[in-house]
Structure 1
Amino acid sequence: AQPVELVAGQPELLVKKLKHEQVKISLNPPYLAGQSVVLWQETPTRLRVIEITDDHRRIGQVLGSDGIEVPLSAREQVLEALGAVSSLVMVHSDIGGVVGEGEAVAADPQPRVHLLPEGAGLRVEILVRPFGNAGPYFPPGTGGKALFTEVEGKRLHTERDLKGEKKLAQHLADACAVLAQTDSEQDFAWQLEEPESCLELLLQLQSLPEHALIEWPQGERFKLAGQAGLKQLSVKVRAARDWFSLSGEIRLDSGQVLNMQRLLELMGNGESRFIQLDDGHFLALTDAFRKRLADLNALAESHGKERRIHALAAPLLEELAEEAGEFVSDQAWRERIARLRSAETLQPVLPGNLQAELRDYQIEGYNWLARLAHWGVGACLADDMGLGKTLQALALMLSRAPEGPSLVIAPTSVCLNWHSETVRFAPTLKVNVLGAGDRQKQIEALGPMDLLICSYALLQQSSVAELLSGIAFRTIVLDEAQAIKNMTTKRSQSAMNLQGEFKLITTGTPVENHLGELWNLFRFINPGLLGSLESFNRRFAGPIERGEKDARQSLKRLVQAFVLRRLKSQVLDELPSRTEITLTVELSEQERAFYEALRRQAMAELERSDAKAGGEKHLQVLVAIMKLRRACCHSSLATPGISLPSSKLALFGETLEELLVNRHKALVFSQFIDHLGLIRAYLDDKGISYQYLDGQTPAAERKKRVDAFQAGQGDVFLISLKAGGVGLNLTAADYVIHMDPWWNPAVEDQASDRAHRMGQMRPVTIYRLVAKDTIEEKIVALHRHKRDLADSVLSGSDSGGKISTDELLRLIREA
């Protein structure tokens, strides 16, 4: 129940001028016979209590329920009649003149905004009160032009400007964006459903040049403590080990002082610029102030009564330092900013002993790396595959080599490539690949101008990891650094123990599956910047996967200074085109029946399984999916002994025959070694020359086969996806065939870029063979959710996360 104001009132006598020189006189309410009291709603919270007398009844009988019409020529007689009854009724007249006795007062046209709580929001009405702070309310421009009534025991009359009332009310409504953007239920009445809209309206009403009269007939629901901007903020910054501690306060116009930490807590993760203070009042923040506070909330961790931000994120506070009313910092802060300024103005010079001519974008990459090294922070060179990350990294190592040794950690398959590239482009570096022999002596003898190349496989060995961690390297490069994306692996743990003055990771896929991988990469190059994993998941990964744009933008701002990512389309106008085509494989009836039997069997076994959801169940589902994927390639891969003719192998043969007739060469990738074995048998049977490479191929033999293919020995190169997907230059081929889709399109992209890279002179076509109505189609459908995962932070698009057990089960059920 809401309080209602009851006021004594009189019936209304309406005198309205009509067309054709007529005047209509009517009573409101119209029929009073048999009634002693009438309640008349003047506003939603104000009722006029009208006591009906015999005089009123007699007037009602004369006028009837529809009123009467008289000629305008009888105006004087009408005015005389009205004067006789003016003490009994409130008269609204359109015909001018003075009715009865009473004091003439000037009409008050000022709009009054009535705010009535309704649901979570407000009902808003604009009304006028012609007799000022007493007397009846009317919607603007309604009622009689001349008004005669009794107010607080006095007979008063006034002349209203009805058009002027409506104009003022409309001007007020137009000046309030909230009202202008909300559909009105009736003239000058609106329903605001959301508290945010209500608070915006209050702020807009308070900011009008001539403050509107605001009335809360049922009590004030929303109270504004005022508006705050950056100029009212005072911030103090001081060094605390690898962090900067922030404290501050905001002083409101009322003199109230709010602690910045408390303000951030009250703000939370909401997007509203209105913050409800402890006393229930709302504080309105300017948009710029809200954005800065949101940045602080995302970038600064809570630490006791203060916030703290990692020293490497200090540049992000510079805008706040410039905009805040007061910003007090210590010497450590000023030195940090001075070092950053020095790095920004540094003009790096390419080492004169680099035996290569860099493209413009590669020079930009070298300059960027040199500036970050000067600043004293790590870097992630995330250029697209094939843009020469190795050459840019070599140029940087060469420039820093006189002050100490360099270390490159790379996949086994590309260690020899690093060696040959170093000999070719940086011959003054003394390069060694860590292998057999006295490793301790080899490592301990490292000095200036030395470059040691070590595989991730060797890094996993405790003895090697311990030896490497005892050397202070001038520069460390982790090539294809997605190899350490999983923090729980031995290689990741060993990498974290390496000591390097400047740490660089190179990768074309900084995020392959989920944002936790980015966190681990940054733990290597700039430890602490992204906080703990728990903090990172709470502040960034979780909100981003839920689609929260502010979190994505905050993470992007935090890492973008340390990540350089260029796409081929941006920097290599001369690179030939790349076309991707999916070839649909129609399984035979026998293959279809075989596949469906496997699928049903898998579902039955999984439904019977009592394994708990999570690790064991997840593994069981993956095993079932693996069997279905192998069945799509060849029945014998799923069930040895059953060898149905393979539709996929037949389509591959048709496609390859056409390519070879037209003098093309092809790279053929499969993740299954035994699938490659079937393809080898097919090529042998057809007499087609080829090269072959999988994870068991020794490093020296890999290089030999790659060089042979590049020299023209072989029309086809069969490669296992994981073993040959990185670090190889195979531009002799202009076609790529993926025999079976992998979960992550980034891995396929890397493999395809063995052909589509610098040095390629012909357009490259990429075929994917996908079995229709099978698990393979479901996997390809997942690609669109994962392809832009890296760009969710690096370029600002949406992201995805890990695939759950339930999602995997659904793939089998629907495949």
Structure 2
Amino acid sequence: MYELAITPQGHLLVREEPSEASDPKLPKGLLDAYRESPAGGMLRSASEDAEAVLPPSFEFARSIARLYLTALCRVAPAEVGATVPELPPPAGDLDRAVLQAPPMTGLEYLTPAALSDWWRELDTLVRGEIERHPGGAHGYLRERNPQWRFVGRVTFHLAENKRNPDYPFAFLATFANGLTPQGKVRHEPLGQALQQYAGEQNRAAMLNLLLPVSRAAESSELVRRLVDSGEIYRPLAWSPREAYAFLRAIPLFESNGLIVRVPDWWSAQKPPRPRVSVKVDSKNATGIGVDAMLQFSVGVSLDGEALGPDEIAQLLESSGGLVPLKGKWVEVDREKLQEALKHWKEVERDVRYEGISFFEGMRLLSGANIVKEDGGEHPAADREWSGLTAGPGLDAILEGLRSPDAQREPAPPGLKAELRPYQRAGYGWLRFATRLGLGACLADDMGLGKTIQVIALLLDLKRDGRNKASLLVVPASLIANWKSELAKFAPSLSFAVAHPSETGATDEEIASAADSLDLVVTTYGMLVRQDWMKRHNWRLAILDEAQAIKNSGTKQTRAAKELTADGRIAMTGTPVENRLSDLWSLFDFLNPGLLGTAKQFGSFVKRLQSAPTPSFEPLRNLVRPYILRRLKTDKRVISDLPDKTEVKAYCGLSKHQAALYQHAVDDLARQLEGTDGIQRRGIVLAQLMRLKQICNHPAQVAGTGDYAADRSGKFRRLAEIAEEIASRQEKVLVFTQFREIADPLAEFLATLFGRSGLVLHGGTSVKKRKEFVDQFQREDGPPFFVLSLKAGGTGLNLTAAAHVVHFDRWWNPAIENQATDRAFRIGQKKNVLVHKFICRGTVEERIDEMIARKSRVADEAIGGSDSGEVLLTEMDNDTLLQFVKLDLHQASDG
């Protein structure tokens, strides 16, 4: 099947996805239209293919095109050759559309600004086609699809007639008879058209003018009566009931090409009407949290103003339709209003004493009725004539969750870093949510500092003096990163690592001393094996790379959800709202029960998708307060982000790699005995190269071609990073100094991105290099580029990449930086995140430490020579063997 994706630049692209039997097929020609241009595809879906059933992402794009064509029909000039005015994007409608969008790839990049760009591209395309069309705007719309015809200039007017209390409304039908000298449309009573078009020669023009009226009469009893009686050609005085029937039929009139003008107080989308007002708030003044019970009160209001008993009685005793109230006309359906009031009064009575849970209140306020036992919703009338709002206490909580910038907190004592403004906001938001007992998902882009925001929170909790540890669960590959960050930014935090790679305390010792620590760090694999972690009561349960629990049926997901904690945090750079099953599993950890059971959630999603006008706004409103996501591309939020950020990606060794590495070290020790000079130097260089290859993948040493990912810690770490990059639709450069591993890396990355990429090495011709660069730089071009370090280190401009991976290290910072600058150079408009892969417990880690220390020897030998291996050849045997030895505990990838 095909789906529409939104790129990081906010553009629409067609992507091919695995097919499901239930997915609707795209109409013939629509795919070609989208490939030619997104605007062309959107236009076709709303015109030639207007009645086709489309996948949700295509349906959403069509809804924007329908909105545009509706606006066009209201302003399209009748005269052939007349200029069609530019249509400015409707800000309010597009803001709402962002919330209504279905889950789709790149949803995090959907903003009102992006939709405005779609709108402008549609406007440019359509106005250009109208200019070239011989029939003008009307002819163009008729040809595109009869449903969008805008034939004639008939306008129905409804106005107030305050001098006649029995018939307080006036109706008049007019037609446009040319333009005034000022360029305004000249309206004349429709009756005059009978005189103007009198005679056989004008019969066609008369039929053309009255065609929209005739069409409307086919489906409207009101218009049919006006036409049959001839009353449509003269002014009429109407009662409130007649005016109400007219107002209710406005969408039908407009769909048939009629223009409708009514008093300002009436809006076809949001007519003023009294509503049953339901206010949800705390039961007492002790505060609100996830464990608090809520109550709600029921009344009737108009435009947010409460109505008194006499006014409510007046409404319920009226005949309905339009009723004068508080100096204005309001829409009233007495039966529906009474039905809604009865429903909410019954709910109020049922929960009068116990109240409702926090999550039940959240579902009510968002309109997401997920856990209804019979699988149904309460009657449509209840929703249509009801308005739910949060009381003052609850509203303050929700506003705090939805406005992280308002939660900016100064950095806590003990933090050895200066937080950027958005990081202070993130830390404050986490503090606010977790102190309420609410689960919070920190979903910032990779490289924005999720780790330091959580470390700041842990330091803040330390001030409480509660002697209660938090638990941090990470992939094994991130243990070293967390240890480094904790030591660097929060040396006052006491922590232990529960993992075989760490020497020191045993698991039993950590378990018994857990609450004398601030933090216990473990892995998803250990969480499954260590029951005491699930039995322990933690201050916070924090999941890093929380996409690890997206599959609800896995052992590690079940183990994470069994944790007991006062608060829960999920850290992920992967968009969490784009896959509904992933979203449910994540929230089943964060806020269990908020989205109901998996079965209830599935039924709820089906109801949203099968609605006459599908909208995911209720679900979006329900989960949005618990997700904080900032994008590197959003300069409004992150104006001071550095152009280049370097991070160390620590990797373990698989058991097979560790065995090979140890064998190579032993072999080196044997070969060094009794050798010296050039022969010794050759042995050292050869064995160092072998150690590097083993760190990459055992198959590179063996030459077997079996590059299975589970046999290499680096391949597994690359998969973790690439998954997030792919989910963000970003691009990556992967550098290696070994030509023989370039193709296996590209094959592996293709499985992760679902698309093939590019490979460049010394054998690539100059012509091909230019072609590859052009392909990669395109917005819809290949998502990754594997380059050998020497071939790709100079002469290339690859600014489309947001990430650079140094898969194996050259051990020369100057050469690595030169390669990095293929992405980070003039023309780059995005932050570049540089991942430097390092195998723990190996010579790679020790060389990196030497470079980081900037010792005199490293500066001279590593930074100043073509190859850092030269330094190692000068070491004596004992020093060299100590330098390259395997630290099995550190290298473990379990």
Asked if Structure 1 and Structure 2 have the same fold, meaning a TM-score greater than 0.5 normalized by the shorter chain, the answer is no
Higher helix share: 2
| TM-score, with length taken from structure 1 | 0.42
User: For the pair shown, which has the larger CA radius of gyration, 1 or 2?
Assistant: 1
| TM-score, with length taken from structure 2 | 0.39
